[in-house]
Structure 1
Amino acid sequence: MYRPPRQGPATLHYLSEKLYDLLIVHRCSHVLVMGDLNHHLEQQAYENLLDVQGLIDHVTFPTHERGETLDPVISDLQEDTLCCHQLGPVGSSN
């Protein structure tokens, strides 16, 4: 999933609504979302999304050269179910 920067909290609210709809319609037992959400710009809305949906961000380290975490791996799985490791630089930060 890609969320362009400077979209405001509305796109995170939209994501929250769509996640709920997908879980209900498809009767999913779990959810896993990965991507470049640029959520550092709307940290409070992002934290609310995780809290309301019962999700965990499994990335606990910076994913950008400026020290920000732009690329979350979020799920409703227990913390010890997924393990994310930091790799060295592999190219452009974009």
Structure 2
Amino acid sequence: MVIGLRDNNGIVNRLEPLRISKIEQTTRTWTRQSFVNFFLHFTQFLKKHVTDEYSLDHKDAVLFYFSPSSKTITMTKSSDPKYQFLPDWFFNGFL
């Protein structure tokens, strides 16, 4: 799994690999079971709401924002290149 590490403003500015078996040792707020539950719900949400096909010509990024005060997550799409961090060779394996 690859996780995004946030700065103090909540912006993901670094990616790092993390083994699911190491979640409890590495994080202070997640257990393996809570992560699996979150992951299952999140992937079901993605399957329902993120339906556009990705192509090398159409690289919209799906952005998620968590509001701690309202405990809600909002989703937006952006074609801004600053959000496109995965290299083309990565997607060539899936397209």
Larger radius of gyration: 2
Q: Which is strand-richer, 1 or 2?
A: 2
Q: TM-score, normalised by structure 1?
A: 0.28
Q: TM-score, normalised by structure 2?
A: 0.28
